[in-house]
């Protein structure tokens, strides 16, 4: 694997480190030292500019809230009084946000919201007896339907009671999240969904659209086993399995639709590879953690496996998630803790020769990652007395930097939980002020998301031998151009008129070139040789 140690070329100098910035409290929603969110139910979804999540004002329990134009709004007190409806599984569907919640009148049910209180309504109540069970695993399929499980049955819905029905066939269907490995047992597949069920030491793989059919099964000799990470890839489906009492059961399983077969994929020639985590990179590939090998990019065909890192993670204990962000064609995630020097953040597009360590934060314990345009954002040092820091990375051009460093250490677990970006402000929950509890803050950003691809096609930096052509659609635009070498040193600075060029004489190697005009910024790597 070719690694550019881009931490040293992260160009932190093109964005000023914001040590002097102060965090801005949005609102002490749960007044006093009470928490506005539950750190175990913080997952949100952003629909348009609005961000939806579960929160509590201290008097109404945990209910659905929306961050709209920088302000917190309660959508609906579903379980009235002090009781919580504990909304979860916020999912964009039919141009609305669907979620599950519980209240004594409806039991566990499916709700939807258009971002207003009046538009937050009961979508489907599967409970005839106000059961505490609730729909699980909301999954939007390519056929335009929403699938979920409820009390061991699979439902297919188009968003209303009249359009929600049980899918016939199959056995026990239970969409669930496996906290031991932070994975789920279901995934969108072809026009419907695929999922795994368990039956007396036998894993069964299923596919459902309007009915349920079995794709294959595999048996374990022990009752003590686990499975996780099922995802669609270019050639079928993959999922991981392991058992301490039946090592031969473990490995990366692959369902091939061409041969209609369920078998293991070898990892470096090992069919019984110990798989640690799996997450989706894109429609074709997943990233697999294989102990003894590293991080592997897999598309379902063994010949196409790509080792994107041989640095084994030493931080993934049971129940620890592999936090990551998908930014365009890139995945950004914590690759390795390096106890002598910090942590490695890796960026990969699934191919060995273009995967690189993009940042090395000097504090330990990493938060969840979020994406914002062409950037990944995360926090480090969020517990154990480390100094909390907020970082960004742009995997497409190999840049990263520190946006904020808190003046005090953090002794509480998960002192920063990333929420999302709205109006170029980063919102996150934090309890760094113990007098306020875990509340919502924001940090102003100085990041300009990349323009849409078609719009950016007219902006380019092109190597014409030793002539560097800088192109922009406005012929009157004056651009400040910085040229950095592979070690991150500034080689030269030029002022260039749009569609103008300049020479790079007497140098050879890989160079990072960035053109700026106000908030506009575009860049490219070029290779210059004799």
Check residue 11 and give its pLDDT: 36
pLDDT of amino acid 23 = 87
Of 323, 270, 317, the residue nearest 292 (C-alpha):
270
Would you say 484 and 13 are in contact if contact means Cβ atoms under 8 Å apart?
A: no
State residue 318's pLDDT score: 67
In the predicted model, what is the mean pLDDT of residues 436-457? 77
pLDDT-derived band at 175 (thresholds 50, 70, 90) equals very high
Residues 395/376, Cβ–Cβ less than 8 Å = yes
| Residues 187-207, mean pLDDT to the nearest whole number | 95
Percent of the chain residues topping a pLDDT of 90: 61
Rounded distance, CA 341 to CA 345, Å? 13
Q: pLDDT: is 6 or 356 the higher one?
A: 356
Provide CB contacts within 8 A for 212, sequence distance 6+: 154, 167, 168, 169, 170, 173, 206
Q: What's the number of domains the chain is made of?
A: 1
Q: Residue 261 is encoded by which pair of tokens? A: 């077969």
Question: Residue 345: which residues within 8 A CB-CB, separation 6 or more?
Answer: 332, 333, 334, 335, 357, 358, 359, 360, 361, 378, 391, 393, 400
Lowest-pLDDT range, 224-233, 240-249, 465-474? 465-474
Instruction: Annotate 366-378 with DSSP letters as a single string.
Output: B---EEETTEEEE
Q: Is residue 180 part of a domain?
A: no
Which CA distances in Å does 294 have to 22, 267, 268, 291? Answer: 39, 10, 10, 6
User: Is 481 among the domain residues?
Assistant: yes
In a domain, 514, yes or no: yes
Q: Which residue has the higher pLDDT, 83 or 336?
A: 83
CA distance 436 to 424: 25
In a domain, 89, yes or no: no
Backbone torsions φ then ψ of 247, nearest 5 degrees: -55, -30
pLDDT at 413: 82
CA angle at residue 402 from 37 to 359, to 5 degrees? 105
Rounded average pLDDT over 46-60: 95
Instruction: State the residue range of the domain holding 474.
Output: 455-528
pLDDT at 24 over 60: yes
Overall average pLDDT of the 181-206 stretch = 91
Task: Name residue 337's beta-bridge partners.
Answer: 343
Find the mean pLDDT for residues 181-209: 92
Instruction: Calculate the average pLDDT of the chain.
Output: 88
pLDDT, residue 182, reads: 66
Question: Please, are residues 50 and 64 in contact by the beta-carbon 8 Å criterion?
Answer: no
Whether residue 443 is predicted with pLDDT greater than 70 in this model: the reply is yes
pLDDT number for residue 488: 62
Q: Is 129 exposed, middle or buried (0-12, 13-18, 19+ CB in 10 A)?
A: exposed
pLDDT at 457 over 90: no
Look up the CATH number of the domain holding residue 504.
Answer: 2.60.40.3080
pLDDT digits 0-9 by tens, 252-310: 999 999 999 999 999 988 999 988 889 999 999 999 999 889 999 999 999 999 999 99
**Which residues are CB-contacts of 364 (< 8 A; sequence separation ≥ 6)?**
337, 342, 343, 380, 381, 384, 386
Average pLDDT over residues 484-501: 81
pLDDT band with cut points at 50, 70 and 90 for residue 180: low
pLDDT attached to residue 456: 47
Confidence of residue 95 (pLDDT cuts 50, 70, 90): very high
Mean pLDDT value of segment 391-404:
93
Residues 6+ apart with CB under 8 A from 352: 1, 2, 297, 306, 307, 308
CA 206 to chain centre: 26
Residue 508 in domain: yes
Asked if 288 contacts 295 with a C-beta cutoff of 8 angstroms, the reply is: yes
Distance CA(197)–CA(125), nearest Å, equals: 24
DSSP codes joined into one string, 453-470: HHHHTT-EEEEETTEEEE
Mean pLDDT across 138-152: 96
How far is it, in rounded angstroms, from Cα 96 to Cα 98? 6
pLDDT at 343: 84
Provide the sign of the torsion angle of the four alpha carbons 86, 198, 300, 347, taken in this order.
positive
Which range in 33-42, 91-100, 480-489 is most confidently predicted, on average pLDDT?
A: 91-100
Instruction: Report if residue 3 sits inside a domain.
Output: no
CA–centroid distance for 204 within its chain = 28
Question: Which of 17-21, 129-133, 277-281, 494-498 is most confident?
Answer: 277-281
- What pLDDT score was predicted for residue 350? 94
Q: How confident is the model at residue 437 (pLDDT cuts 50, 70, 90)?
A: very high
pLDDT, one tens digit per residue, over 5-22 is: 333 333 333 333 344 467
* Comparison of pLDDT for 93 and 2, the residue scoring more: 93
**391-412 b/e (C-beta count within 10 Å ≥ 16 → b):** bbbbbbbbbbbbbbbbeeebee
Is 28 domain-assigned? no
Is 453's pLDDT higher than 70? no
pLDDT digits (tens, 9 = 90+) for 319-355: 778 899 999 999 999 988 776 567 889 999 999 988 9
In a domain, 484, yes or no: yes
């Amino acid at each position: 694997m070719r690694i550019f140690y881009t931490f040293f070329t992260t160009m932190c100098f093109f964005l000023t480190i914001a040590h002097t910035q102060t965090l801005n409290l949005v609102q002490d929603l749960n007044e006093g030292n009470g928490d506005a969110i539950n750190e175990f139910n913080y997952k949100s979804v952003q629909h348009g500019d609005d961000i939806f999540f579960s929160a509590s004002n201290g008097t109404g329990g945990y209910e659905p809230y929306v961050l709209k134009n920088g302000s917190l709004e309660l959508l609906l007190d579903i379980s009235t009084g002090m009781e919580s409806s504990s909304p979860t599984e916020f999912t964009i569907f039919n141009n609305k946000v669907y979620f599950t919640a519980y209240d004594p009148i409806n039991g566990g049910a499916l709700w939807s919201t258009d971002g207003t209180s009046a538009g937050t309504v009961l979508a489907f109540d599967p409970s005839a007896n106000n059961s505490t069970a609730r729909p699980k695993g909301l999954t939007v399929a390519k056929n335009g339907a929403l699938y979920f499980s409820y009390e061991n049955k699979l439902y297919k819905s188009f968003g209303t009671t009249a359009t929600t029905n049980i899918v016939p066939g199959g056995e026990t269907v239970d969409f669930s999240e496996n906290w031991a490995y932070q994975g789920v047992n279901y995934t969108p597949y072809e026009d419907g969904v695929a999922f795994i069920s368990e039956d007396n030491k036998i894993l069964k793989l299923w596919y459902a659209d309007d009915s349920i059919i079995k794709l294959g099964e595999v048996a374990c000799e022990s009752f003590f086993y686990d499975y996780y990470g099922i995802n669609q890839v270019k050639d079928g489906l993959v999922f991981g399995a392991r058992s301490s009492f039946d090592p031969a059961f473990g490995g990366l399983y692959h369902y091939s639709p061409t041969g209609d077969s369920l078998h293991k994929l070898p990892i470096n020639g090992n069919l019984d590879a110990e798989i640690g985590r799996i997450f989706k990179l894109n429609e074709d590939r997943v990233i697999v953690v294989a102990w003894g090998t590293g991080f592997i990019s897999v598309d379902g065909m063994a010949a196409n496996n790509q080792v994107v890192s041989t640095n084994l993670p030493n931080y993934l204990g049971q129940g620890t998630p592999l936090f990551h962000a998908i930014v365009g064609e890139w995945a950004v995630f914590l690759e390795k803790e390096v106890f002598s020097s910090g942590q490695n953040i890796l960026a990969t597009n699934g191919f060995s020769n273009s995967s690189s360590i993009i940042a090395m934060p000097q504090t330990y314990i990493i938060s969840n990652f979020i994406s914002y345009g062409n950037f990944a954002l995360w926090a480090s040092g969020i517990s154990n007395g480390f100094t909390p820091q907020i970082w960004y990375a742009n995997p497409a051009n190999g840049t990263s930097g520190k946006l904020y460093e808190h003046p005090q250490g953090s002794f509480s677990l998960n002192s920063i939980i990333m929420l999302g970006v709205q109006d170029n402000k980063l919102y996150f929950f934090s309890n760094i002020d113990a007098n306020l509890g875990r509340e919502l803050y924001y940090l102003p950003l100085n990041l300009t998301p990349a323009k849409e691809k078609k719009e950016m096609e007219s902006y380019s930096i092109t190597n014409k031998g030793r002539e560097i052509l800088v192109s922009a659609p406005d012929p009157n635009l004056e651009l400040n151009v910085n040229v950095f070498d592979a070690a991150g040193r500034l080689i030269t600075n030029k002022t260039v008129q749009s569609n103008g060029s300049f020479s790079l004489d007497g140098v050879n190697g890989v160079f990072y070139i960035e053109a700026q005009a106000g908030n506009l910024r575009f860049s490219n790597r070029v290779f210059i040789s004799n």
